Amino acid sequence: MKLGQLFADAAGFDRAEFVNHHPEPALVFVRGFPDARAGDEGIASDQTTELKTTTKLRLIRDQQGEMVAKMRPDSVVIFLKKRSAWTPFSDVLTVGRATIQDVRIPLSSVSKFHVTLTRGAAGWRVTDQRAVNGTFVDGKRLDASRAAPLRDGTRLGFGPETEAFFFTPDGLFDLVASHRRF
């Protein structure tokens, strides 16, 4: 789903309706997640071919002055749902290039098993799975096999080409609601 489509679909929702309709957290990809291509309709994400390039990037400066990708209406929204039986744990989601991951990013710069996203009592966490090109949390490289907490708006990098923002359902509603004001 594109972010612009989410804005349009949720235009009449209040917070409770939105969270009921979208109960999963989401990653909003602002860089590196391939768009659907002609012929990909109706094909599961694990059946698409690996891509070698990504889309062009528009950058803005964040509060620290660092150049970061900007969320746009064509940013891809991936709701974090269990899609693979590879890990039997309902509170663990996998991200990587391999076809068995819950979230598949078909780029050569993304490791086959790049990170896990884990839901616990204190909220969501991201753990690097010794990804060759690294995992970045708010611009800082995460040490191999280390975990970092996720909050609404946490910026995640999966190698050098892919960047996404993490949102809980409530945080995603706040993003949608802030868009309504413009």
What's the pLDDT band for 62 if we cut at 50, 70, 90? low
What's the pLDDT band for 58 if we cut at 50, 70, 90? very low
Instruction: Give me the mean pLDDT over the 108-134 stretch.
Output: 96
Q: What is the pLDDT of residue 49?
A: 42
Write down all domains in the chain, each with its CATH number in brackets.
3-35+46-180 (2.60.200.20)
Residue 65 pLDDT exceeds 90: no
Residue 115 pLDDT exceeds 90: yes
Q: What is the pLDDT of residue 181?
A: 58
pLDDT in tens, 10-57: 888 999 999 999 999 999 999 887 764 333 333 344 443 443 333 333
Calculate Rg over the CA atoms of the chain.
Answer: 16
pLDDT in tens, 123-170: 999 999 999 999 999 999 999 989 999 999 999 999 999 999 999 999
Q: What contacts 121, CB < 8 A, 6 or more positions away?
A: none
pLDDT in tens, 71-91: 888 889 999 987 777 677 888
Q: What is the pLDDT of residue 63?
A: 55
Q: What is the pLDDT of residue 72?
A: 82
